Amino acid sequence: METKTAPAKRTGGRSALVLGAVKRATEELIEEKGQERLTVPMIAERASVNPTSIYRRWGDLPSLINDIATYRLDPARPLPESGTLRGDLAGWAQEIVAHYRNPVNAALLRGGAAVAGDRESDCLRNRRAEATMFVERHPESELSADRVIDHLVAPIVYRAIFLPWTLDDDTANRLVTELFAS
């Protein structure tokens, strides 16, 4: 039997323009209207793009929001390399706090939470991968990725979702201190 070669994706040019316009429009509107008052046609109009294009690319609104929420923090961005696990985690936590103090990112996170629950659609999976990388880089520490998630990521995310006004400047440092005190 003949092997079917995958059709060539077209990622550049106009497609890239549409992608960027849709992402920008979604980020703008999610801040203005909030996650639940958002619709696909609204995004399409703001992006000067046809609604059909959005439906065909993402299927529905929750998938779009989850997609943007997942990749807004670039997975290829440089991560802290301070020489110590504590230093790395402190810098990393500060970055995450700063990220979610942006109302746009907090709203996207809530959208991601709304559609979470299965292994595929976890908009925070990159955080877990990064946590694992940090603890494996410093095997002398006894910290596990699980504990980093539970006592560093979880409190930040919890506050970002439910108590965003409590995400202040020293949240990250306080949590890191408490994590290493145990």
Nearest residue (CB) to its own copies, 150 versus 169? 150
Distance CA(109)–CA(70), nearest Å, equals: 9
Q: Which of residues 4-23 bind DNA (CB under 7 A)?
A: 7-15, 18-19
| Minimum CB distance to DNA smaller for 58 or for 180 | 58
Alpha carbon 145 to chain centroid, angstroms: 18
71 binds its own copies (CB under 8 A): no
Query: Does residue 120 belong to the site contacting its own copies (CB under 8 A)?
Result: no
CB 163 within 8 A of CB 112: no
Instruction: List the structure tokens of 50.
Output: 């046809």
At residue 115's C-alpha, the angle toward residues 109 and 116, to 5°, is: 80
> Binding segment for its own copies among 4-12, 40-48, 86-94, 144-152 (CB under 8 A)?
144-152
| Residue 81 or 146 with smaller CB distance to its own copies | 146
Contact call for residue 2 and DNA (CB under 7 A): no
Contacts of 128 (CB under 8 A, 6+ apart): 145, 149, 153
19 binds its own copies (CB under 8 A): no
C-alpha distances (whole Å) from 30 to each of 17, 34, 45, 65, 174 are 20, 5, 14, 9, 30
SS3 168: coil
Q: Which of 1, 6, 76, 181 binds its own copies (CB under 8 A)?
A: 181
> Between the CA of residue 91 and those of 1, 98, 122, what are the distances in Å?
54, 11, 23
Residues near DNA, by CB under 7 A = 7-15, 18-19, 39-42, 48-53, 55-57, 60-61
Residues near its own copies, by CB under 8 A = 34-36, 62, 106-107, 110-111, 113-117, 119, 122-124, 147, 149-151, 153-155, 157-159, 161-165, 175, 178, 181-182
